Amino acid sequence: MDAHKQNIQGGKMSSKNIPKVLEDILCLQDFEEKARRKLPRPIFGYIAGAAEENTSLQDNRSVFKNYRFITQVLTDVSKRDQKVELFGKTYHSPFGIAPMGLNALSTYRGDVVLARTAQAANIVSIMSGSSLIPLEAVAKAAPDTWFQAYLPGDTPRILALLERIKNAGFKTLVITVDIPVSANRENNVRSGFSTPLRPSLRLAWDGLTRLSWLFGTFCRTFMKYGMPHFENSFATRGAPILSANVLRDFSARDHLNWEHFKQIRDYWQGHLVIKGVLSVKDARLAKEMGADGIILSNHGGRQLDGATSPMRILPDVVQALGSDYPVMIDSGFRRGSDVLKAVALGAKMVFVGRPFNYAAAVAGDTGVEHAISLLRDEVDRNMAMLGVNRCHELNPSMLINCRSSD
């Protein structure tokens, strides 16, 4: 076992192993400002931005303030273990890395970095279909990675993509269903981001003022692999990330329906998860149609602005589907306390997106390792102070919903 894997499986980096750039990173939020200083404005804007007025983005954070813990004291918590079981596999923590596109644009080989570090830490990592590294390369580097697909607009291309994913060796497929049309991401426009990126003096300046990114990520990638392309939206290669005239194929998805999901379920023999559910009705349908699990999500506030935080519907969905059914969740999680609040309400796994992207941008594998360590330590400390030794001991009685009690 190499030193990297030993460090991350141990759950903690010793201070002498922490590089200088990470010495003042004490929580996941601290990565954001360092990433802002390192990344060109359009790329940082793409990661940080959400839809329209950021209403859902802000609600994703504010919802956690509605819940307060009830602790139990004088309980022996010396044998704490935050492991959880999901789809027959035991993971070391109840959180994982959410899919987010263009990771390889913010750090060199970003999708491989996230997947490889997550596997070393034995946590879940989901690769985005909107990524710039062929899914086969990620599956080879980290075979336990899940793959998240954006469905093409017609059945033949859907089945061709599924065949490619299966042949690459992925065992768990996540279908994102909350993008019937492209979102109104005004923040991307204001920051100069588009897909593909359009060459301009402004874009050139943004790159030249971030030399460590320019040479350490973009030029390094270009010299070894050529111009990055959208590799995994379809069975075939998509548009380049930088082009003056090529358009990215967003393939209309507004006609996709549950019959398409049924076709996928009939074809896909591995674990199948639906991501983007925000109602009890759709959660029930997903279970009835054969989904092995669901991820409650408002896409990190990046789709419908004003969509509810998944935390607000989590209790109702768990009650409707039963405590044994894998209800997972993402959007807005930043603290170990956030993770444990969701687990107490019945979530089987919590996914965190932007902070891990920032961590990779700041310090590659080591940054992601540090981020996992910080969150894992927070979960561990909070379990001790709550008076529990295992995640399954958490339950709704350990929370007060301050909003409902007002």
Give buried/exposed letters for 221-237 (b at 16+ CB in 10 A, else e): beeeeeebbbbbbbbee
229 is catalytic: no
Q: Scanning the structure block, which residue is given the tokens 């954006």?
A: 150
CA 54 to chain centre: 18
Q: Is the peptide bond before 42 cis (omega within 30 degrees of 0)?
A: no
Give the dihedral of Cα atoms 52, 56, 57, 59; nearest 10 deg. 140
Query: CB of 360 within 8 A of CB of 368?
Result: yes
Strand 95-97 to strand 349-352: parallel, antiparallel, or no bridges (unpaired)?
Answer: parallel
The alpha-carbon radius of gyration of the chain (Å, integer) is 20
Residues 6+ apart with CB under 8 A from 302: 49, 50, 51, 57, 183, 185
Known binding-site positions for FMN: 99-101, 128, 148, 176, 275, 297, 330-334, 353-354
Could you list the residues known to form a binding site, using ranges. Answer: 46, 99-101, 128, 148, 150, 176, 185, 275, 297, 299, 302, 330-334, 353-354
Can you tell me the distance from the alpha carbon of 60 to that of 58, in angstroms, rounded to the nearest whole number?
5
DSSP state of 107: S
Distance from C-alpha of 191 to C-alpha of 210, rounded to nearest angstrom: 15
Catalytic residue among 229, 260, 299, 370: 299
Report how far apart the first and last C-alpha atoms of the chain are (Å, whole number).
53
Helix (H) or strand (E) holding 302: none
Helices (H), 54-123: 55-62, 103-106, 110-121
Q: Are 148 and 273 in contact (CB under 8 A)?
A: no
The burial class, CB within 10 Å (0-12 / 13-18 / 19+), for 199 is: exposed
What are the φ and ψ backbone dihedral angles of 81, each rounded to 5 degrees? -150, 120
What gap in Å lies between CA 189 and CA 217, rounded to an integer?
A: 23
Distance of CA 292 to the CA centre of its chain: 19
Chain position carrying tokens 């839809």: 51
Binding residues for glyoxylate: 46, 150, 185, 299, 302
Catalytic residues: 299
